[in-house]
Amino acid sequence: MIRIAALALVASLLASSQACLTAHIARATKDSTSSNCVSSSVSANRKFAIKNAEVFNGSGFQNAQTVIVSNGKIVTIGGIIPAGINTIDGTGKFLIPGLIDNHVHPASCSNLAELAGYGVTTAINMACLNYTTCSQLKGQLGTTDYINAGEIACGTGSVHATAFGVPLAEIIGPDTDLLALVDWTFGTGSNFFKIVAENKGPTVKQQATMVQLVNRHGSFAATHATLIEHCDQAIRSKADGIQYTSPDGLLSTAQISQIRSQGQFVTLTMEFYRLAFSNPALAPVLGFNASCNYSNTQTNFANMHAAGVSIAVGTDSVGSLPGVINYPFGRLLHCELQNFLDAGFGNAEAIQAATAGAAKLYRLYDRGSIATGMPADLLLLNSNPRREYHWVGGVPVGTITAQKGQICDPTSLGF
Ligand SMILES: *[C@@H]1O[C@H](CO)[C@@H](O)[C@H](O)[C@H]1NC(C)=O
Ligand SMILES: *[C@@H]1O[C@H](CO)[C@@H](O)[C@H](O)[C@H]1NC(C)=O
Ligand SMILES: *[C@@H]1O[C@H](CO)[C@@H](O)[C@H](O)[C@H]1NC(C)=O
Ligand SMILES: *[C@@H]1O[C@H](CO)[C@@H](O)[C@H](O)[C@H]1NC(C)=O
């Protein structure tokens, strides 16, 4: 039932999109009948040690380190392992912080479990379409930590307002009380604010007002901007974060230097575009016109990276929408990191971007590195990206053995 509804939603979205992809967030399937994602017998109340591992320090690996975890947190790095505690031999293995997906759309416990299975320990849900579900997914022990934007701030008659059934009171018209809207969004427990720049979207003035109001809440605003003209609106509104990179052409040097000088970050979602353009039949179905291609996004990425723009790591994963797209949770983050390597990031730079860098840009100062007091969101790698164990908040989570070449092959995803 739910999958069919989601499919119809995407179909209506696609039918109404006129240029490049105007909207592609979709509700993933929900299974939120239970309020606990992980069985209550799971406990982070354990103490264990990892000995003799190569430990990631932000720029490289330091050898033969011991990391001791207790109550879901890293309590000691180095030093003597107390007698009698469970000890995992990390000899010849690499310990990195849990990965963060800066733009993803999990909507159920099973979506979180899938993310956790790929070592993604924090998921930033880029739109909350149901505050009850969002609050249920927060703070679940032993699975991916869930952080969410509010309901999308979109305009009357826009594709997003229609396709996602945004409640009338939350759609922005000329007379909308933006202060009340922003207060409402944070009153629902949202961690940050999402604006949608598109045809019939909020005006640049309204977007700028919302950004200021959000900043007064001590939070940040991220703006959906899939085309150059919408990216330009996000620049003029001084949104803290810009989501996507334009496939319809190249951002100008002036635009890129303004993004840089305003301290805006950009969440590129390169893998979204790579897959969308991997099948010539799919691009038009997704609403991309002939001016759009993956090469434009790659050049925009390279130009922004060269200019020193802060880049976040996101996938826009929505799961499987049969017959339309398959953007699996977790797996795509590894492919996104491969895209970063292809763009010239070093291994350590890419790991840092998906851990401490991702945390800092999204103002999550309580995670992202292997340090005393940080949560035990840890991945022990045999070799990158193959994992043996990983722990989310100190709870052991399953392993995967998929190889890089296979997991990022579009044909393996049905493209
Ligand atoms: C594609 O859409 C963009 C944005 O609306 C427009 O500027 C461009 O002319 C279109 N290109 C083609 C080939 O239709
Ligand atoms: C991190 O590890 C690398 C490689 O061993 C080393 O060169 C660097 O100095 C270390 N950085 C810190 C802050 O310890
Ligand atoms: C939101 O989710 C809750 C819990 O999953 C559900 O009971 C409710 O019907 C949903 N609301 C809407 C408007 O879909
Ligand atoms: C990509 O599209 C741009 C127009 O937006 C065009 O100039 C360029 O040649 C295209 N590149 C490729 C590789 O198709």
| Least confident among 92-96, 256-260, 359-363 | 92-96
Length of the chain: 415
- pLDDT, mean of residues 56-62: 94
pLDDT at position 173 over 90: yes
pLDDT at position 258 over 60: yes
User: Which ligand has its closest atom nearest to the C-alpha of 108?
Assistant: 3
Taking alpha carbons only, the member of 314, 131, 136, 298 closest to residue 222 is 314
- The rounded percent of the chain whose pLDDT value lies above 70 is 88
Taking alpha carbons only, the member of 1, 33, 6 closest to residue 136 is 33
For ligand 1, pick from 291, 292, 293 the residue to mutate: most ligand atoms within 8 Å of CB. 291
CA–centroid distance, 242 to ligand 3, in Å, is 29
Residue 258 burial (CB count, 10 A): 16
Q: Rounded to whole angstroms, how far apart are CA atoms 230 and 278?
A: 24
Q: Tell me 266's DSSP state.
A: E
Give the position, in ligand 4's atom list, of the atom nearest the Cα of 249: 5
Q: What local confidence, expressed as pLDDT, does residue 384 receive?
A: 57
- The rounded percent of the chain whose pLDDT value lies above 90 is 73
pLDDT tier at 414 (50, 70, 90 boundaries)? Answer: confident
Encode 11-70 in three state secondary structure.
HHHHHHCCCCCCCCCCCCCCCCCCCCCCCCCCCCCCEEEEEEEEEECCCCEEEEEEEEEE
- pLDDT, mean of residues 255-270: 98
Give the position, in ligand 4's atom list, of the atom nearest the Cα of 291: 5
CA–centroid distance, 248 to ligand 1, in Å, is 7
State which amino acid sits at residue 89.
D
Q: What local confidence, expressed as pLDDT, does residue 90 receive?
A: 94
Close Cβ partners of 295 (under 8 Å, ≥ 6 residues apart): none
pLDDT tier at 402 (50, 70, 90 boundaries)? Answer: low
Q: Rounded to whole angstroms, how far apart are CA atoms 148 and 99?
A: 17
Q: What local confidence, expressed as pLDDT, does residue 25 receive?
A: 29
User: Which ligand has its closest atom nearest to the C-alpha of 130?
Assistant: 3
Mean pLDDT of the chain: 87
CA–centroid distance, 57 to ligand 2, in Å, is 6
Q: Is 291 in the pocket of ligand 4 (CB under 6 A)?
A: yes
Give the position, in ligand 3's atom list, of the atom nearest the Cα of 130: 1
pLDDT at position 18 over 70: no
| Ligand 1 first shell, C-beta below 6 A | 19, 227, 248, 289-291
pLDDT at position 323 over 80: no
pLDDT tier at 2 (50, 70, 90 boundaries)? Answer: very low
DSSP string over 301-334: HHHHHHTT-EEE----B-EEETTTEEE-TTHHHH
What is the per-residue pLDDT across 220-231, written as a single tens digit (0 to 9) for each?
999 999 999 999
List of domains in the chain: 18-36+97-361 (3.20.20.140), 47-94+372-396 (2.30.40.10)
CA–centroid distance, 355 to ligand 2, in Å, is 17
Is 261 or 382 the better-scoring residue by pLDDT?
Answer: 261
Taking alpha carbons only, the member of 363, 327, 156 closest to residue 241 is 363
CA–centroid distance, 289 to ligand 4, in Å, is 11
Q: Rounded to whole angstroms, how far apart are CA atoms 267 and 103?
A: 7
pLDDT tier at 403 (50, 70, 90 boundaries)? Answer: low
User: Which ligand has its closest atom nearest to the C-alpha of 230?
Assistant: 1
Inter-CA distances, 228 with 34, 54, 138, 224, 251, Å: 42, 43, 34, 11, 7
- pLDDT, mean of residues 342-365: 95
Q: Is 223 in the pocket of ligand 4 (CB under 6 A)?
A: no
| Least confident among 52-61, 285-294, 401-410 | 401-410
pLDDT at position 338 over 60: yes
Neighbour-count burial for 301-336, b at 16+ CB within 10 Å, e otherwise: bebbbeeebbbbbbbbbbbbbeebbbbbbbbbbbbb
For ligand 2, pick from 56, 59, 61 the residue to mutate: most ligand atoms within 8 Å of CB. 59
CA–centroid distance, 355 to ligand 3, in Å, is 32
Q: What local confidence, expressed as pLDDT, does residue 376 receive?
A: 95
Q: What local confidence, expressed as pLDDT, does residue 369 receive?
A: 98
pLDDT at position 1 over 60: no
- pLDDT, mean of residues 238-243: 98
- pLDDT, mean of residues 156-185: 95
| Ligand 3 first shell, C-beta below 6 A | 32, 130, 132-133
pLDDT tier at 45 (50, 70, 90 boundaries)? Answer: low
pLDDT at position 7 over 50: no
CA–centroid distance, 131 to ligand 3, in Å, is 8
For ligand 3, pick from 2, 129, 130, 166 the residue to mutate: most ligand atoms within 8 Å of CB. 130
Q: Tell me 366's DSSP state.
A: T
Q: What's this model's pTM, rounded to 2 decimal places?
A: 0.91
Q: Rounded to whole angstroms, how far apart are CA atoms 353 and 58?
A: 9
- pLDDT, mean of residues 322-344: 90
Give the position, in ligand 2's atom list, of the atom nearest the Cα of 63: 5
Is 33 or 53 the better-scoring residue by pLDDT?
Answer: 53
Q: Is 60 in the pocket of ligand 2 (CB under 6 A)?
A: yes
Give the position, in ligand 2's atom list, of the atom nearest the Cα of 59: 1
User: Which ligand has its closest atom nearest to the C-alpha of 133?
Assistant: 3
Q: What local confidence, expressed as pLDDT, does residue 284 receive?
A: 82
User: Which ligand has its closest atom nearest to the C-alpha of 20?
Assistant: 1
Q: What local confidence, expressed as pLDDT, does residue 387 receive?
A: 72
| Least confident among 194-208, 247-261, 286-300, 347-361 | 286-300
User: Which ligand has its closest atom nearest to the C-alpha of 60?
Assistant: 2
pLDDT at position 12 over 60: no
